[in-house]
């Protein structure tokens, strides 16, 4: 219920005492009609709508990828070379390198950069 959430936020921000917040929440839950709810929050300041989240962008994505890879390498080192984690990490690395190499070779083999990804062979 949006009114109760607003009251909880007001108590958390110190605009209402916990007792006053509880009383108002009880009043909000006891309301039978929606037009009774604005009176419960009438003296509280209006909340600004949340700002839309900005897109992360490529730099933030690359930074997250690097951080994840560093954590993975550190965890694999801590687990030891003969662990199952090291084996899985090695297999994933080999598969990723194979996919990248095949994409590059496929693009160059079909007549140059750009032509290989359209699917039209000469």
Contact status, residue 25 vs residue 7, Cβ threshold 8 Å: yes
Tell me, yes or no, whether 100 lies in a domain.
Answer: yes
Tell me whether residue 79 is in a domain.
yes
54-111 pLDDT, tens digit per residue, is: 767 888 888 888 898 888 888 888 888 788 888 888 898 899 899 888 888 877 665 5
The reported pLDDT for the residue numbered 19 is 93
Specify if 34 maps to a domain.
yes
Asked if residue 101 belongs to a domain, the reply is yes
Residues 3 and 24: beta-carbon distance below 8 Å? no
Q: What was the pLDDT predicted at 90?
A: 87
Assign 120 a pLDDT band (cuts: 50, 70, 90). Answer: low
Same-domain status, 33 and 66:
no
> Does residue 117 surpass a pLDDT of 60?
no
Inside any domain, residue 66 = yes
pLDDT at 103: 84
Same structural domain, 26 and 67: no
Domain count, the chain: 2
Q: Give the whole-angstrom CA distance, residue 117 versus residue 107.
A: 6
Residues 64, 97 within the same domain: yes
The single residue listed with the structure tokens 């009114």 is: 3
Q: Which domain range does residue 29 map to? A: 2-40
63 and 105 part of one domain: yes
């Amino acid at each position: 219920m949006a009114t109760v959430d607003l009251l909880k936020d007001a108590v958390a921000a110190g605009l209402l005492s916990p007792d006053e917040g509880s009383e108002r929440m009880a009043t909000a839950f006891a309301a039978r009609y929606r037009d009774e709810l604005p009176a419960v929050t009438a003296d509280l300041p209006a909340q600004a709508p949340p700002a839309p989240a900005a897109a992360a962008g490529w730099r933030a994505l690359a930074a997250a990828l690097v951080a994840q890879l560093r954590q993975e390498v550190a965890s694999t080192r801590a687990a030891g070379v003969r662990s199952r984690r090291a084996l899985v990490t090695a297999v994933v690395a080999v598969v990723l390198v194979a996919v990248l190499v095949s994409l590059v070779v496929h693009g160059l083999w079909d007549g140059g950069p750009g032509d290989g990804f359209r699917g039209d062979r000469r």
